[in-house]
């Protein structure tokens, strides 16, 4: 388990280490610049909704395009894309279990406070699942259309580095019959805001 968890956390640590130097200089004046994009990576802990002992871990990545210059009515809205690879800490009875998702949709971020930004997401995409084949069958993989929604928040740790955490609920439509599969779980990680303050000397 520690080795598996380390293999997930190492990319997030490297992401932070690479990002900090970009915003480490302290100079007298500043102006807004850059692209209205945030990208990030983290670790997810999901309830798989499949079989016993169903919680698993995996890495996640995301990117958000914010409409900062949109009309007042659209202020706070943006576009989000996310990917999850829930493939670690498998239950012993489900050695083949893996859920891989790619989604995109809308995000609304409430920016009333400078350091803390709550948000909500609504997304759609594709889900791929590997699972143990039933006895006498080779059927062990399938893909489905999915929808999901999430709520969470981001906290400004240091200039362009944000701590991000959310809870997501997914709908995998008509999996193994007429019922939906409903994985749900938490994701925690770090984001880098490319619409950073650019410092310059007078």
Domain membership flag for residue 94: yes
Whichever domain contains 195, its CATH number is 2.40.160.20
Name the residue range of residue 133's domain: 2-24+34-200
Domain membership flag for residue 29: no
- Whole-model pTM: value is 0.78
Looking at the chain, the whole-number percentage of residues with pLDDT higher than 90 is 55
The dihedral built from the CA positions of residue 86, 87, 91 and 96, taken in this order, carries a sign that is: positive
* Rounded distance between C-alpha atoms, residue 57 and residue 3, angstroms: 12
**Predicted confidence (pLDDT) per residue in 64-82, tens digit:** 999 887 787 788 999 999 9
- The answer to whether 146 and 129 are in contact (CB under 8 A) is no
- The answer to whether 191 and 154 are in contact (CB under 8 A) is yes
Strand 77-86 with 116-130, pairing: unpaired
Helix (H, G, I), strand (E, B) or coil at 82: strand
Give the total number of structural domains in the chain. 1
Domain membership flag for residue 61: yes
Helix (H, G, I), strand (E, B) or coil at 10: helix
Q: Which residue has the tokens 């659209």?
A: 74
**Predicted confidence (pLDDT) per residue in 171-185, tens digit:** 998 887 777 899 999
Cα angle, residue 45 at apex, residues 39 and 51 outer, rounded to 5°? 135
Torsion of CA 23, 34, 198, 80, to 10 degrees: -50
Low-confidence winner among 24-28, 30-34, 37-41 (lowest mean pLDDT): 24-28
């Amino acid at each position: 388990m520690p080795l598996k968890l380390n293999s997930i956390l190492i990319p997030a640590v490297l992401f932070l280490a690479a990002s900090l130097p970009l915003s480490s200089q302290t100079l007298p004046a500043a102006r807004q610049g850059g692209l209205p994009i945030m990208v990030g990576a983290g670790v997810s802990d999901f309830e798989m909704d499949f079989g016993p002992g169903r919680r698993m871990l995996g890495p996640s990545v995301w990117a958000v395009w914010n409409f900062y210059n949109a009309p007042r009515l659209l202020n706070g809205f943006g576009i989000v894309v996310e990917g999850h690879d829930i493939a670690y800490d498998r239950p012993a009875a489900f050695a083949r279990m893996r859920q891989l998702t790619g989604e995109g949709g809308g995000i609304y971020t409430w920016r009333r406070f400078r350091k803390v930004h709550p948000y909500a997401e609504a997304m759609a995409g594709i889900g791929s699942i590997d699972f143990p084949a039933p006895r006498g069958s080779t059927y062990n993989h399938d893909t489905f259309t999915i929808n999901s929604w999430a709520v969470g928040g981001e906290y400004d740790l240091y200039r362009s580095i944000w701590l991000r955490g959310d809870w997501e609920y997914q709908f995998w439509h008509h999996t193994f019959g007429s019922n939906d599969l409903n994985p749900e779980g938490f994701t925690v990680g770090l984001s880098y805001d490319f619409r950073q303050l650019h410092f310059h000397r007078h």
